[in-house]
């Protein structure tokens, strides 16, 4: 639905019925003419492969059908008719993640590596319905207790899977009746998480893991993060780890990490790039992550790690030294670490430490290193600072000419603002705006939580709302200043800062500030499991999505899918858009309240809470 429709709705509210009806009739006729325009009027290159025709037709048909449905809902809203609630989904959708259907990907003719990647283009149309929690689902425990103890019924893992998952996992977790307890001291790799982190710090040349920030390490991309024990320890050190692992139907690493309240998202890079710009992370960590680094020609998997790694950043690989990888005669007797070390020399990495089965490489800080390599070295990419959105992997080295090429040890805030084209006064004004907005949010939510969220048996009196919120998804993050305001106010919640596709490209700035962030197209589902966020925040996102001709109904269903029961939604937008949003909120069964900011503007807040739909 497009933003002009919203403007029409907003302008109609104050008109007399007869004029309103006449204008709406004219609008409806013009809309239907546009919707029903013949497919033959759509022009495209006749040389386009015939395999694209079904997708072109499917996309056109979906837009046409969606426009018709949105038109009917607009008519219902303008006439005061109550919109029907979406039905509840069946049990098979309880843990459903769109765009990761390996069966459909195989039927579409994708090859082995591509099958595991994200493919929304092959997603079949499904019934619009509200995803229900599993029968044994319980509200997560309060932070920080919930970081170490989760409810077994909240994740899709069976007792048999748990018991058969190996000694590492059984040291990571203890299954106790209806809970899973994570014991970090006994958890990761050999001597525990703290000893493991200290080992990495010593290889860097630090006295302890509490000094990571002194070495410029603030953000860590944890590939194949297990069940999040290393990430949980990094969070306790005030670092920002992001767990990323491939989709798993059961026993998911990402689902378990998110249930613990840790930053995580689904992702794999067998054939496509991560949705991050070049030079995004200070450290990339892979502990027995199952990656065969030489599976692609020209070492493209390692090149993708190099692409997202900042100058002077570190790559940590923990892998059994006697475990050979690869099927060719040349690699059968070569361990992963040996193979990576051979490849690292071609991309200006230096092996700076090894202890036991853990290896540490550092990326060069000198971009001139690449020009001094031999002629048969891996070529440099001809790229800028654009953010890839699931682009194919590339057989070249990225980011060497970027203006963001700054060693992690040499960063300053003023330099970052200048690099990203921001004036200090613009940035400071936005920062102050969000500090004030956050203070207002809590004052609004506190009475709602006290009145709508009764004390549960065994609980003490309700605490302020920020202690009930472990994570926030800022769906249109801009500079990331909501995240900054949370930190300034001493709130413990972490933020997934999402930058919409086709919006201003601020993701490099967000990542350079040490925050978690990702690029995403809100016309598509977000790569996460159901019920993984405590709060969703959307500032002017609905206006942006409307201009992209995306379905607001699908967006609200997706928001409901990723929001946990009793979670919160705060939407800020223009009054006409908020009225439509309130109608859609009732369709997904949210309790919704429109709040006038009393500042003379046409901006309104829509504050919603998702109910706990028990079976």
What per-residue confidence (pLDDT) applies to 337?
Answer: 76
What per-residue confidence (pLDDT) applies to 174?
Answer: 59
Whether the pLDDT of residue 26 is over 90: the answer is no
For 218-237, how does the pLDDT look when each residue is reduced to its tens digit (9 = 90+)? 999 999 888 888 999 999 99
**Can you give the residue range of the structural domain that contains 579?**
417-610
Q: Are 513 and 283 in contact, with CB atoms under 8 Å apart?
A: no
Query: Considering only CA atoms, which of 357, 355, 285, 351 is closest in space to residue 321?
Result: 357
How do strand 219-223 and strand 563-574 relate by DSSP bridges?
unpaired
* Number of Cβ atoms within 10 Å of the Cβ of 48: 10
538 inside domain: yes
What's the structural domain count of the chain? 1
* Number of Cβ atoms within 10 Å of the Cβ of 350: 13
Q: What percent of the chain has pLDDT over 90?
A: 40
For 550-577, how does the pLDDT look when each residue is reduced to its tens digit (9 = 90+)? 899 999 999 999 999 999 999 999 999 9
533 inside domain: yes
Q: What is the CATH number of the domain that holds 533?
A: 3.40.50.150
Query: Considering only CA atoms, which of 310, 316, 291, 335 is closest in space to residue 188?
Result: 316
What per-residue confidence (pLDDT) applies to 427?
Answer: 92
Higher per-residue confidence, 413 vs 140: 140
Q: What is the largest CA-CA distance in the chain?
A: 82
What per-residue confidence (pLDDT) applies to 189?
Answer: 43
Find the length of the chain: 615
Measured over the CA atoms of residue 248, residue 251, residue 257 and residue 258, the dihedral's sign is positive
Please tell me the pTM assigned to this model.
0.81
596 inside domain: yes
Rounded-to-integer distance, Cα 174 and Cα 180, Å: 6
101 inside domain: no
Instruction: For the chain, give the mean pLDDT.
Output: 78
Residue 456 CB partners (closer than 8 Å, separation 6+): 139
What separation in angstroms does the CA of 567 have from each of 175, 321, 561, 591, 613? Answer: 27, 45, 11, 11, 12
Whether the pLDDT of residue 361 is over 60: the answer is yes
What per-residue confidence (pLDDT) applies to 255?
Answer: 92
431 inside domain: yes
For 82-119, how does the pLDDT look when each residue is reduced to its tens digit (9 = 90+)? 678 999 999 989 988 998 876 666 666 666 666 677 87
Residue 355 CB partners (closer than 8 Å, separation 6+): 199, 202, 203
For 181-193, how does the pLDDT look when each residue is reduced to its tens digit (9 = 90+)? 876 544 444 447 8
Q: Are 44 and 56 in contact, with CB atoms under 8 Å apart?
A: yes
498 inside domain: yes
DSSP, collapsed to helix, strand or coil, labels residue 497 as strand
Whether the pLDDT of residue 14 is over 60: the answer is no
For 486-516, how does the pLDDT look when each residue is reduced to its tens digit (9 = 90+)? 999 888 789 999 999 988 899 999 999 999 9
DSSP, collapsed to helix, strand or coil, labels residue 519 as strand
42 inside domain: no
For 401-460, how does the pLDDT look when each residue is reduced to its tens digit (9 = 90+)? 898 999 998 877 666 788 888 888 999 999 999 999 888 887 777 666 544 444 444 455
What per-residue confidence (pLDDT) applies to 362?
Answer: 97
339 inside domain: no
Question: Which of the residue ranges 138-147, 245-254, 464-473 would you say has the lowest mean pLDDT?
Answer: 464-473
Burial letters 380-416, b for 16+ CB under 10 A, else e: bbebebebbebeebbeebbbbebebbbebeebeeeeb
Q: Are 151 and 179 in contact, with CB atoms under 8 Å apart?
A: yes
Residues β-bridged to residue 605: 572, 595
């Amino acid at each position: 639905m497009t933003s002009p429709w919203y403007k029409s709705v907003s302008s109609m509210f104050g008109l007399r019925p007869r004029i309103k009806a006449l204008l709406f009739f004219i609008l409806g006729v013009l809309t239907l003419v546009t919707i029903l325009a013949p497919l033959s009027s759509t022009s495209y290159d006749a040389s386009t492969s015939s395999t694209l025709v079904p997708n072109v037709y499917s996309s056109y048909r979906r837009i046409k059908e969606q426009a018709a449905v949105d038109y009917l809902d607009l008519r219902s809203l303008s006439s005061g008719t109550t919109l029907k609630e979406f039905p509840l989904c069946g049990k098979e959708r309880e843990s459903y993640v769109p765009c990761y259907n390996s069966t459909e990907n195989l039927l579409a003719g994708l090859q082995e590596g591509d099958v595991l990647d994200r493919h929304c283009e092959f997603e079949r149309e499904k019934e619009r319905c509200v995803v229900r929690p599993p029968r044994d689902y319980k509200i997560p425990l309060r932070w920080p207790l919930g970081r170490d103890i989760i409810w077994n019924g909240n994740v899709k893992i069976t007792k048999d899977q748990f018991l058969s998952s190996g000694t590492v996992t059984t040291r990571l977790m203890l299954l106790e009746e209806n809970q899973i307890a994570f014991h970090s001291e006994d958890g990761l790799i050999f001597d525990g998480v703290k000893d493991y982190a200290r080992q990495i710090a010593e290889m860097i040349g630090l006295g302890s893991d509490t000094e990571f920030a002194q070495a410029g390490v603030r953000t860590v991309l944890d590939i194949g993060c297990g069940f999040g024990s290393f990430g949980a320890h990094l969070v306790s050190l005030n670092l920002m780890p992001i767990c990323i692992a491939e989709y798993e139907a059961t026993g998911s690493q990402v689902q378990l990490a998110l249930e613990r309240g840790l930053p995580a998202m689904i992702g794999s890079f067998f054939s496509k790039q991560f949705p991050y710009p070049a030079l995004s992370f200070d450290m990339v960590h892979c502990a027995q992550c199952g990656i065969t680094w030489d599976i692609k020609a020209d070492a493209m998997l390692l090149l993708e790690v190099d692409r997202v790694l900042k100058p002077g950043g570190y790559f940590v690989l923990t892998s059994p030294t006697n475990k050979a990888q690869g099927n060719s005669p040349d690699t059968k007797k070569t361990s992963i670490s040996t193979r990576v070390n051979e490849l690292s020399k071609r991309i200006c990495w230096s092996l700076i430490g090894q202890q036991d089965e853990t290896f540490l490489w550092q990326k060069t800080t000198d971009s001139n290193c690449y020009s001094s390599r031999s002629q048969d070295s891996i070529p440099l990419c001809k790229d800028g600072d654009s953010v890839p959105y699931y682009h194919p992997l590339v057989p070249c080295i990225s980011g060497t000419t970027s203006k963001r090429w700054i060693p992690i040890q040499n960063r300053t805030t003023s330099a970052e603002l200048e690099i990203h084209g921001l004036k200090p006064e613009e940035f400071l004004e936005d920062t102050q705006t969000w500090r004030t907005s956050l203070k207002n949010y809590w004052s609004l939510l506190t009475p709602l939580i006290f009145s709508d969220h009764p004390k549960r048996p065994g609980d003490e009196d309700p605490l302020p709302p920020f202690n009930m919120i472990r994570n926030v998804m800022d769906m249109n993050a801009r500079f990331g200043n909501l995240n900054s305001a949370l930190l300034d106010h001493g709130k413990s919640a972490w933020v997934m800062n999402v930058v919409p596709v086709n919006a201003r490209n601020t993701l490099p700035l967000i990542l350079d500030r040490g925050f978690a962030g990702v690029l995403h197209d809100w016309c598509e589902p977000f790569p996460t499991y159901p019920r993984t966020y405590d709060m969703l925040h959307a500032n002017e996102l609905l206006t942006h999505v409307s201009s992209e001709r995306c379905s607001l109904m699908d967006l609200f269903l997706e928001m409901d899918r990723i929001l946990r029961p009793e979670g919160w939604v705060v939407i800020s937008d223009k009054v006409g858009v908020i009225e439509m949003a309130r109608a859609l909120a009732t369709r997904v069964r949210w309790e919704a309240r429109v709040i006038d900011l009393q500042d003379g503007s046409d901006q309104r807040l829509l504050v919603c809470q998702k109910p706990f739909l028990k079976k």
